[in-house]
Amino acid sequence: MNIVILGPPGVGKGTYAEILSNKYDIPKISVGDLFRTAIKDETELGKKIKDYVSSGNLVPDETVIELVKNRLEEDDCGRGFLLDGYPRTVAQAEAIEQFNNIDYAFNFVAPDEVIMSRIGGRRTCRKCGAIYHIKNIPPKVEGTCDRCGDKLIQRSDEKPEVIKNRLVVYREKTKPVVDYLRKKGLLVDIDASYNIEEINEIIAQCEKHLRGLS
């Protein structure tokens, strides 16, 4: 089963992909992680990506496509994969069809107020990087990290006005991709508005479509 994962920041797609990865024993592949690994390993692609990132430019489609293609050719993808963060453009969507068939593109959706509550409630330890949520995963002592005892902070990109802008930018940039995948009959909208205690309701929607593939 070859699955693409889509959704705005804060919708929880990484968590859902992790659960599905463990359940179906297929790798969860994050394009962001691929970037970081390539840069760290100083591969030829990694050097190109580092140059673009360092200069504040977007990594060109052809570089992203080559990186993803190389990863999907590895042995652990033989039974399938969950691809998070790709495609971001129609060109990337068209390219993946040339080297891999896609069974479904799961588009996780939730109202803006739900997403803003999830992101806005996050708190990060300034020392060890542990992540909490003031409602869903609160620390034992308010404002203090359980692991190292340092102070918890709210990142600048997790403040309400910034979150609103991130959602607007995401939708503007991904609309062509979403429209393309929907027209191809690959897109499935998944209601991700459930609370964390009801996460099985979200996973069940995915499994309904995956039963015929496993």
The CATH number given to whatever domain includes residue 170 is: 3.40.50.300
148-163: pLDDT as tens digits: 999 999 988 888 888 8
Cα separation, 186 vs 106, in Å, equals 8
Residue 141 lies in a domain: no
Residue 126 lies in a domain: no
The pLDDT assigned to 158 comes to 86
13 is catalytic: yes
Catalytic residue among 40, 155, 173, 175: 155
Catalytic residue among 71, 118, 123, 166: 166
> How far is the CA of 177 from the CAs of 67, 119, 185, 192, 197, in angstroms?
19, 24, 12, 20, 31
Residue 122 lies in a domain: no
The pLDDT assigned to 142 comes to 95
**CB 92 within 8 Å of CB 174:** no
144, β-bridge pairs = 141, 151
pLDDT tops 80 at residue 210: yes
Q: Which of 1, 42, 25 is nearest to 211 (CA)?
A: 1
151-195: pLDDT as tens digits: 999 988 888 888 888 899 888 989 999 999 999 999 999 999 998
Residue 155 lies in a domain: no
Residue 135 lies in a domain: no
Q: Which pTM was predicted?
A: 0.85
Residue 125 lies in a domain: no
The pLDDT assigned to 153 comes to 95
Total domain count for the chain?
1
36 is catalytic: no
166 is catalytic: yes
Cα separation, 137 vs 127, in Å, equals 18
123 is catalytic: no
The pLDDT assigned to 214 comes to 60
68-112: pLDDT as tens digits: 999 999 999 999 999 998 999 999 999 998 988 999 999 999 999
Instruction: Name which residue leads in pLDDT, 45 or 55.
Output: 45
122 is catalytic: yes
Q: How many CA atoms lie within 13 A of 1 on its CB side?
A: 25
Residue 27 lies in a domain: yes
Residue 138 lies in a domain: no
The pLDDT assigned to 83 comes to 96
Q: Which domain holds residue 107?
A: 2-111+162-210
Catalytic residue among 28, 48, 71, 88: 88
Report, as an integer, the average pLDDT of 35-48.
91
